[in-house]
Structure 1
């Protein structure tokens, strides 16, 4: 009887011990493909390591559908606790009032400071008054992929098989002409029939001239109009010379390079895993590399954007929940080396400048672009899925295929976007 009584007492004592309190963090992202796989793996790792916090993730459709969903959810106070957000959308997000401020106390709870990140990404994540509204997770840009087989025996490959000798537009076009002579179907491949691919190349050429698409409330002010026309003229010349594909949508532009029909590709770092996977399978058929887009026009810079973490406005979370959210964000930053495997450059400098990342190729080769990145204009009509991208597919893409003169196209961009700013 004493034994049974002891067992009963022990059972009662155990049931009296409260269960470990667990904060449930609702997470929204727009990450599909390889990015989605990597993020889901990071979420699983976080949940395994944090019995007191559980991330419940939902992946929504990328682009306009995602940001429309966020706007609607915030309006009724039913947004997630944390979400991924493109920094190029920051000005519109601030105008719509969908982003909460990330305070110094929040950063402290995440175990980071503003100085933990590359300055360009922090600026892009902040409002004009310097208040932070997102925490940068990466810097992703277009880079110049190259197929070494078209450059062998030329001045464009050094003794180690690295791309060299492209210091201006003339050099690059000489390399394109060489590739054409060697049988390249499209010496430089990019998505000439896609809004994103066309905009990123155009914006890089514009910014490399020191040009600005939008300054304040004016589109292509002053000599920026001529610089925009020059960028379109260059892209048109590539088409006229048969150096770039006609009306190539994104998938087709990638296929041209991976199938060996292009010597170069101007595309995002996110295609690095594609190249690595093909190489590992032995199906690529050539040796390749990737570098920062060379300084073709006088200024070393490249179009770039960042995935970031943001907290929706109009949230009703407790201080404990908010601390849990910042714990999630801080952990993701400190474990972003796994995210870098998708080709991205970590925005968190401790990882980006660490030994492990410096050994990650080709990321380490183009990582310097983090210091010279050109984010989209700080305007509500710019950024992912914006009127600026609409102008790329509706005006620039037709122009580079010969349907409008470069200056005529630049003037049309100015007119179309200026109307959106009124």
Structure 2
């Protein structure tokens, strides 16, 4: 009887010790739709593989400004999560407000990662003043979606099923004219009713000219950068004014114009790849593809951002070394298993995750994966990034110019002065 008692007691003590040894990682993200479903699958897989060791308890919050406001206020009172998703474009604000915990070499070692595992542009976007604050998870950008049947009929498709004759501003318009001759009244679809989508195209065109929206001295559109910004704006505006794309089209309507066959070309984020894939699988969409944006000016460049993982700097509630090691294991596992994340249209930021047979067979991602090498991340400023004053200014100045309500010169001067006033 005594032996049974002590055996039961020891078994109970062992169970309590094992339970205490398991680290529960509090996780916040802003992922919904296809992104959210795929992340849930990754989290479930992680939890299954690490049962009894590390478990993720995930909470999904509202995307954009509400998320970053909550993160900032929660970290300030020590009530933030252990780890969170974070746009690299918002990193400067997170650092300025003391919201983010710096990542050390020891942290990266615990994750089994090194900065050389990522594109340099990704590392630069995750770094402020030489200090890394986040681990990139993906690169997401805008791409050119195209209707293969329409382009083939217009003589704009090569033997590999890829668009041709689209590089150069005038060549692109000539291609649009061919598509109009083929029966499409407005062959290009862009979301031009808000600042966010117009900003992404504009910033791509500015960087294709080697332009800087924000220079090293903290000046917006200084010197000839203003002229390059006007040129980018005027090109976008010409697509509308010359009848290639309709004005003031809402987001869902811009997609519907393409999927409904009213437009042969559509500029949008890679996050709409699952939409196209699902419609095609159901027999509700034509043969389609997606490629990196054409080179309208001097060099390839495309606006890009990254979902990344960051650790909040929870004031007065310092994380234990054991918990921090567990968090870095979570981050490392996510990076090393991010090839699957490509099914959401994104490019895995972790280089080895793109250098796999699985990813090379993933279309159209593998076709536009070259944009990882020419990605143009948002300006490094607390005023820039998702839901930022730069996006607001794009809505107040750039978007009206694209729709013919302001000249490109008026818009860019107004945008420059507005943001410069906020910088001082």
Compute the TM-score of the two structures, normalised by the length of structure 1: 0.96
Whole-angstrom CA distance in 2 between matches of 1:83 and 1:256 = 35
Gaps of 5+ in 2: none
Whole-angstrom CA distance in 1 between matches of 2:192 and 2:289 = 22
Whole-angstrom CA distance in 1 between matches of 2:205 and 2:159 = 29
Whole-angstrom CA distance in 1 between matches of 2:105 and 2:312 = 17
Secondary structure class of the residue paired with 1:374: strand
For each residue in 1:259-297, what CA deviation from the matched residue of structure 2 results, as whole angstroms up to 9, or x when unmatched?
Answer: 11111111111100110000000011x211100112111
Q: 1:11 aligns with which of 8, 13, 16?
A: 8
Whole-angstrom CA distance in 1 between matches of 2:101 and 2:10 = 44
Whole-angstrom CA distance in 2 between matches of 1:26 and 1:247 = 41
Give matches, 1:258-277, under 5 Å.
258-277=259-278
Whole-angstrom CA distance in 2 between matches of 1:302 and 1:409 = 21
Whole-angstrom CA distance in 2 between matches of 1:331 and 1:307 = 15
Asked whether the 8 Å contact 2:169–2:235 carries over to 1, the reply is no
Give matches, 1:125-274, under 5 Å.
125-128=126-129, 130-215=130-215, 216-274=217-275
Offset of 1:344 from its aligned partner? 0.5
Q: Counterpart in 2 of 1:279?
A: 280
Give matches, 1:59-70, under 5 Å.
59-70=60-71
Offset of 1:417 from its aligned partner? 1.0
Whole-angstrom CA distance in 1 between matches of 2:66 and 2:396 = 20
Offset of 1:159 from its aligned partner? 2.0
The farther-off stretch of 350-359 and 303-312 is 350-359
Offset of 1:182 from its aligned partner? 2.0
Offset of 1:248 from its aligned partner? 1.1
Residue 73 in 1 paired to residue 74 in 2? yes
Q: Counterpart in 1 of 2:122?
A: 121
Whole-angstrom CA distance in 2 between matches of 1:237 and 1:58 = 44
Offset of 1:193 from its aligned partner? 0.4
Whole-angstrom CA distance in 1 between matches of 2:326 and 2:13 = 26
Residue 355 in 1 paired to residue 352 in 2? no
How many aligned positions are there? 417
Whole-angstrom CA distance in 1 between matches of 2:112 and 2:134 = 15
Asked whether the 8 Å contact 2:154–2:182 carries over to 1, the reply is no
Offset of 1:166 from its aligned partner? 2.2
Whole-angstrom CA distance in 2 between matches of 1:32 and 1:183 = 37
Offset of 1:163 from its aligned partner? 1.2
Compute the TM-score of the two structures, normalised by the length of structure 2: 0.96
Asked whether the 8 Å contact 2:154–2:179 carries over to 1, the reply is no
Offset of 1:10 from its aligned partner? 3.9
For each residue in 1:131-152, what CA deviation from the matched residue of structure 2 results, as whole angstroms up to 9, or x when unmatched?
Answer: 1000000000001111122212
Whole-angstrom CA distance in 2 between matches of 1:230 and 1:304 = 20
Whole-angstrom CA distance in 2 between matches of 1:236 and 1:153 = 27
Secondary structure class of the residue paired with 1:219: coil
Asked whether the 8 Å contact 1:30–1:84 carries over to 2, the reply is yes
Asked whether the 8 Å contact 1:155–1:165 carries over to 2, the reply is no
RMSD, aligned CA: 1.3
The farther-off stretch of 11-20 and 156-165 is 11-20
